[in-house]
Amino acid sequence: MDIFIAIVQILDSTIRLSVPLLLACLAGLFSERAGVFDIGLEGKMLVGAFAGAAAASVMHSALLGLGMAILISVAFAMIHGFASITHRGNQIVSGVAINFIAAGSTIILGQAWFSQGGRTPALQPGERFEGIILPGANAVREVPILGPIYSELLSGHSILVYFAFAMVPFAWWVLFRTRFGLRLRAVGENPAAVDTAGISVAWLRYRALICTGVLTGVAGAYLSMVQNGGFVKDMTAGKGYIALAALIFAKWKPVNAMFACLLFGFLDAAAIRLQGSPLPIVGKVPVQFMQAMPYVLTVILLAGFIGKAIPPRAGGVPYVKER
């Protein structure tokens, strides 16, 4: 039974840890499916996290914090759009620049406004998103097997966790069942086809980037307002890049993206859980090894274990009319 509880707990933290990855991964899905590579997921999450925590702590409202996180993140997405869609700049360079601006500006502004070494003040209750206890969660706690699964694993998460997982079918539906989705996928494959069909390539790609901005904003807010009680510098810690790896691993499909992110989340959760405790057969494993696992896995997966991943064909290429 102890092992069962331990597994439930690991899975529970798997869910919590995979949420920011999942949101970022879906964010990347929208922009890459539209043909805009976005290496700046990391930066947009970071400014979202900062803006969310800062606004929540100043305005004493978690919702206003979330709104600000989304607003600032979308603004950064628009900068990326302006550089890479309107001015046809290199999408990688623009994305990297956004990551640098995000890393630097959050620390400078944080220090200037709050004087806590780049942190934002610790968020008080009401300024962060609290866990939601699903109906009957406490009542079924003692039921064997299903009880802990329902009350521990499914219940007790913040609204943003449920939002993130609800976004998976929603993103699928938008991409594959709506006009907007059809056009968005088309523009990532062959923008000239979209252009000659009388649809604006630029406006379509901007709208895709707005979706990206909203999702990275929520991802950032989750980091600083749910997982942590405030903003800490560089708190995204490479999650934006792992999300990109997950996106490739998922072959640019929403449901695959969820499983890819859960896998990365699981490795993270297992690494935390198993720190210091001996493993069967191999014995005691250094902490650093476990912490490195998600990154090692990323490299292995990307090195070709995933079969052929075909990216959107027009990805990374600014659209220029012939001649």
Partner 1 sequence: MAQAAIELIGINKSFGAVRANRDINLEIARGTIHGIVGENGAGKSTLMSILYGFYQADSGEIRVGGKPASIKTSNDAIALGIGMVHQHFMLVDNFTVLENIILGAESDALLKKSIAKARSELERLEREYGLEVDPDAIIEELPVGLQQRVEILKALYRGAEILILDEPTGVLTPAEADHLFRILKQLKEQGKTVVLITHKLREIMAITDNVSVMRQGTMVATRETKKTTVEELAELMVGRRVLLRVEKGEAEAGNVKLAVKNLTVKDSRGVTMVDDISFDIKAGEIVGIAGVAGNGQSELLEAISGIRRAVSGSVMLDGKPIDLTGAADPGELRDRGLAHVPEDRHHVGLVLAFEENENSILGYHHDPRYLKGPFLNIDAIMADAKDKIEKYDIRPGNPRLKTANFSGGNQQKIVLAREMEQDPGVLIVGQPTRGVDVGAIEFIHKRLIAMRDQGKAVLVVSVELDEIRSLSDRILVMFAGRIVGERGPEATEGELGLLMAGVERQEAAE
Nearer to partner 1 (CB atom), residue 82 or residue 180: 180
Q: Which of 32, 15, 52 is nearest to 235 (CA)?
A: 52
Contact 59, 65 (CB under 8 A): yes
Nearer to partner 1 (CB atom), residue 304 or residue 321: 321
Does position 313 bind partner 1 by CB under 8 A?
Answer: yes
Does position 182 bind partner 1 by CB under 8 A?
Answer: yes
Does position 194 bind partner 1 by CB under 8 A?
Answer: yes
Q: Find all residues with CB under 8 Å of 32, minimum gap 6, and list them.
A: 38, 188, 247, 252, 311, 312, 315
Q: Which residues of 247-275 are buried (b: 16+ CB within 10 A; e: fewer)?
A: bbbbebbbebbbbbbbbbbbbbbbbebbe
Distance between CA 313 and CA 32 in Å, rounded? 10
Does position 152 bind partner 1 by CB under 8 A?
Answer: no
Contact 242, 39 (CB under 8 A): no
- Residue 233 zone, left/alpha/beta (φ > 0; ψ -120 to 50; rest): beta
Contact 102, 47 (CB under 8 A): yes
Nearer to partner 1 (CB atom), residue 30 or residue 231: 30
Does position 29 bind partner 1 by CB under 8 A?
Answer: no
Does position 170 bind partner 1 by CB under 8 A?
Answer: no
Interface residue with partner 1 among 131, 177, 255, 299 (CB under 8 A) is 177
Sign of torsion, CA 254 259 264 270?
positive
Does position 60 bind partner 1 by CB under 8 A?
Answer: no
Site stretch for partner 1 (CB under 8 A), options 102-110, 174-182, 220-228, 298-306:
174-182
Interface residue with partner 1 among 7, 10, 59, 189 (CB under 8 A) is 189
Binding mask 277-306 for partner 1 (x = CB under 8 A): ------------------------------
Helix (H) or strand (E) holding 132: strand 131-132
Site stretch for partner 1 (CB under 8 A), options 125-133, 143-151, 186-194, 259-267:
186-194
Interface residue with partner 1 among 112, 197, 282, 303 (CB under 8 A) is 197
> 191: buried, middle or exposed (CB in 10 Å: 19+, 13-18, 0-12)?
buried
CB of 315 to partner 1, least distance (A): 13
Does position 162 bind partner 1 by CB under 8 A?
Answer: no
Does position 186 bind partner 1 by CB under 8 A?
Answer: yes
Interface residue with partner 1 among 180, 241, 259, 295 (CB under 8 A) is 180
Interface residue with partner 1 among 44, 119, 128, 185 (CB under 8 A) is 185
Residues of this chain that interact with partner 1 (CB under 8 A) are 177-183, 185-186, 189-190, 192-199, 313, 321, 323
